[in-house]
Each structure stands twice: as structure tokens, then as C-alpha cells.
Amino acid sequence: MDSSEIASQLPGNFSETEVEKFVKMGKVLAGKAVLSYLMEVIKECGSVKVVMKDGREDVGAADRESAKLCKMIKKAIPFDYSGFTQCEFEEVPYKLNITLSIVDAGYKTDIAIPDSSYVNEILKQYQFLKEVATAYWNEFIKSNGSLFARAQKYCGGLDISKLHSSDENPTVLYFDPCTKKQIGIFAYYVDSDNRPLKRK
């Protein structure tokens, strides 16, 4: 799907140049995390079973298919880094970077902030990143239909067509809450030169 097709589906009037910027932003903010999560899920599934002509099961088939899929997905990762959004505070000289990362199931974003008045703004950024990740995944499926179909077949009964979140833990995204790895919102403080602050 090119930028003109995307523009025709968006509400409001956006130029192709603006749409291209939106698409690139999605790739920078979400591409690495979403596709890295897909690879983690594939490694976890291992559901493919191949029966040979003599009736014996090819026990190495799942591992070979997993390796092939992960190689293809890794090649499709648009950038080798994850972008971030940022919050600034009047009370302190440091800033809060918020990004998407691979986390263990059960992870919850936990960050101290200078004042409770910033909570709503930070939650908006959490929601924004989740929406960008969901939009990126939907677009990836449309643009990589055969790869997605192959990955879905490998994952068997685990539906990977949509990313979900929950009210109980709104700081993670997943295809299924039972996956061992998930996409989490990771927040960390940086100094005025954008260098991560060391915890004391």
C-alpha cells in the first residue's frame, strides 16, 4: 500500500508527503518492537508438524521453519532502533523518554514523576505509542500478506492478526496474554544531553 492509498483512507485532508512522514514515524516508533515480538512468539510456538511419506514425523521441521521465518522478519525490521516520545518537567532538569520494548509477561511500567499533574500527559503518550504499534502491525499485515499468512500458519491456534491490551495492565500489548514475551512501554530518564540517567 503506497502513500496515496493510505491518504485516501484517512479522515481529513493529508498530502502524500504528510502521510509518508506518518508512516515513517510508525516505523521508527514501533517497527523494531512489534516485529521483535513476532519473532519471540514464533520461537515460543513451534507448532508446525511435518509428516514424511513413510509416516514418520520430521522432528526438525518446526525449528527450520522458525529459523526461516525469523530471518525473513528480521530482514523486514525497518530500523535497528526504537524511537521514543518525551516528557519534560518544570521542576527538574531531566526528561522522560517513553519507548516500546520487549518485556516479560506481567511487566508493568513503573516510573516516579515529579508531580501528579503530569500523569494524564504521560498516559496520553502511553496510549499514543500503543495506537502507533497497532497501526504499524495492521499496515505490516497488509503489505506483507504472504509472510503474515506463513507466520500465522506456524503459530497454529494462536491468533496473531491483532494486538491487544487490557484495562488491568494498559502498559503492554500482545497477540495473546499467555505469551511469555510482550510489547511493553518502557520509560527512562535522560539528562539535558539525552543521556540515560544512572540510578543511584
Q: Which range among 11-20, 135-144, 151-160 shows the weakest confidence by mean pLDDT?
A: 11-20
* Buried b or exposed e, range 123-162, using 16+ CB within 10 angstroms: eebbeebbebbbebbebbbeebeebbebbeebbeebebee
Maximum distance among all alpha carbons in the chain?
72
Phi–psi pair at 154, nearest 5 degrees = -65, -40
**Residues pairing with 57 in the sheet:** 51
**DSSP E strands, the chain:** 50-51, 57-58, 84-88, 95-104, 172-173, 181-190
Separation CA 136–CA 66 (nearest Å): 23
Check whether 126 has a pLDDT greater than 80. Answer: yes
pTM of the model: 0.84
Q: Find where cell 510456538 sits.
A: 45
Which cell is 137 given? Answer: 502491525
- What's residue 55's pLDDT? 64
pLDDT for 14 equals 57
Q: Which of 44, 28, 182 is nearest to 103 (CA)?
A: 182
% the chain with pLDDT above 90: 60
Q: What is the pLDDT of residues 164-176, one digit of tens each?
A: 998 889 899 999 9
